[in-house]
Amino acid sequence: MIFLKKYIYPILIVFLVCLIFFGYYLNKKSSASKKNEISNLALELKIRNDQLAKMQKNLLKNGYNINNIINQNNISFKKITENKKLIDFNGYSLKKFKANNNYFDNYSFSKYTTKDILFNGNLAATGTAFIDFYNEDKNIFLSTYDGIFAYSKLSNIEKFTKVKSNIDQLITYENFYLSDHYGVKDILIDEKKLYVSYIGKRRNNCYDLKIVSAELDEKYLEFEIFYETSNCVDTNNEHGYWAQQGAGGRIFKFDNSSLLFTTGDFRNRPLAQKLDSDFGKILKIDIQTNKAEVVSLGHRNPQGLFYSKKYDFILSTEHGPKGGDEININHKPFAKIKNFGWPISSYGEHYKKNYSKKILSEAPLKKSHKKYGFNEPIKYFVPSIGISQLVSISENDREFFVGAMGNQIDDQDLGVHYIKLNKNRDKVAEHKYILLNERVRDMIVSKNKKIILMFLENSASIIILKKQNN
C-alpha cells in the first residue's frame, strides 16, 4: 500500500494529466486546422466570386445583360434520388434533381453552365430560384434571382426551357444581376398571369419593392409594372443601418380581385410601425386598381405567406434578428389591422451590443408582445432557423411544412419543420424537424396537396415529394 501511494499513484496522476493535455493539444490543433481549411475555402470562393462579378460588371458596362448571353440555352437537372421513401415525411416519397454543373471549370461566359446561372455569390448556397405550378399543376415555372425564366413539365423535370423576356429593359441597375440580395423575391402564377416581385431602384441610394406582371407565355414574357411601394428606403438613413436582404416580397393570391404581399423593413426598423409606410407590412393589393391597403404591421422580414380561404386566417413567417424567427397567425385578418410588434417586441437580440441609444430606443426588443399590446407569435425560434416559405399540406389547413435555411451557430436546421395547429388553429399542437442538409428557399404544393416541390439552395436542386396512397 505504501509502495502504491509513494510511486504508482503519482505516476498515474502524472500520466492522466499528460493525457488530458495531449488530448487538448490534438483537439486545438484539429480545430485550428479545420478553421484554416474553412478560411482558405472562403478566400478561394471570394476570389472567384470577385472575378465573376468583375466580368459581369464589364459586360453590363458594355450594354450586355447576362440574360442576352445565356437565354438561348436550357437549364438541365439530373435525377440523383429515385422514389426514396421517407418516414419523417409521413407517407411521402422523394425524388431529387440536381442542376448539371461544373462551376469554375472556366471563367468564360460563352461556356456558362447551369450552376453558374443559378449561382448567387454566397458561400452557403450555389443557387437561388423560385418556382410555381401552372397548367393544372402539370407544368413548373422557375425564375432565378437575376431574372432568368424557364419552364418544364412535371413529368420531365430534367429539362427546363428558357423563356426570353423584357426584364432587362425594366430593371437596369446592375446590383439586381450581381446579388441575390437585390434580385427576385418571389413568383406567383394566377391562371394565365405571372407575377414577379423584386427590389427596385427608385433613385440613387433609394430602393423600393416592385411587382411586375406578364401574360404567361412560353415564348416571350412582356412584363409591365403592376405595383410598387409608395416610397423607397434610403441606404443612408438616420437609423444607422441598411440591409437589402430584409425585403420580404412573398406574393399569395387572396381572391379573384386581390393579392397579398409581404414587405420587409430593410433594417430601417421604425418603418414597420408606421401606417403611412409600405414597409414592414403585409399588404392587400387590388388587381384592378393596383392600390394597396395594410392588413398587418410590425413585421421585420416576412419570408413565408399563406391564406386559408376556408378558415379565414393568414399564416406567415418572418426572420428575427439574432434569434427570434417567428410564425404568426392572423385570424379574420381583414376585420382589423393587427400589429405583430417589431421592432418594439422580439424574442431575438441585436447583432451588435454597442448600438446607439437612439437605435435601442427605436428597437428595444422587449421579450413580450402581448404585454405591449401586440400579437404574440404562435411559434418562435431561438436561435433562428433562417425561416423561409411555408405551405399547407392538409385539407383542413392545420398541417404545414416550413422551410429553413440554417442558423448562425451550426447550420443544423437546414431542412423542413413540420407544424400542426390545434383544432382552434391558435396554437402549435405538434412540431418536428426534418433534416435535409440543404437550405430550403421556396416551396409549392399542388391543389390536391399530394405533390410538394422545394427548391434547395446549397446544391441548386429541386426535390419532389409525392404523397403515397395509403
For the chain, the structural domain boundaries read: 1-64, 77-467
Residue-wise pLDDT for 256-275, tens only, equals: 999 999 999 999 999 999 99
Residue-wise pLDDT for 150-173, tens only, equals: 999 999 999 899 999 999 899 998
Write down the pLDDT at residue 74: 75
Write down the pLDDT at residue 8: 56
E-strand stretches of 89-222: 92-99, 129-134, 139-144, 149-153, 159-165, 184-190, 193-203, 206-215, 220-221
Alpha-carbon distance values, 353 to 123, 259, 360 (Å):
26, 39, 10
Write down the pLDDT at residue 73: 63
Look-up of cell digits 416541390: 453
Write down the pLDDT at residue 88: 62
For Cα atoms 251, 212, 159, give the angle at the middle one, nearest 5 degrees. 80
Find out whether the peptide bond into 10 is cis, omega within 30 degrees of 0. Answer: no
Predicted model pTM: 0.83
Asked if 319 contacts 325 with a C-beta cutoff of 8 angstroms, the reply is yes
CATH for the stretch 77-467: 2.120.10.30
In this structure, how many other beta carbons lie within 10 angstroms of the beta carbon of residue 68?
A: 12
**What is the rounded distance in angstroms from the CA atom of residue 100 to the CA atom of residue 96?**
13
Write down the pLDDT at residue 136: 94
Residue-wise pLDDT for 368-410, tens only, equals: 999 999 999 999 999 999 999 999 999 999 999 999 998 655 5
Look-up of cell digits 509513494: 6
Enumerate residue ranges in the chain where pLDDT < 70.
1-73, 83-90, 101-126, 240, 354, 407-413, 470
**What is the rounded distance in angstroms from the CA atom of residue 268 to the CA atom of residue 270?**
6
In this structure, how many other beta carbons lie within 10 angstroms of the beta carbon of residue 435?
A: 12
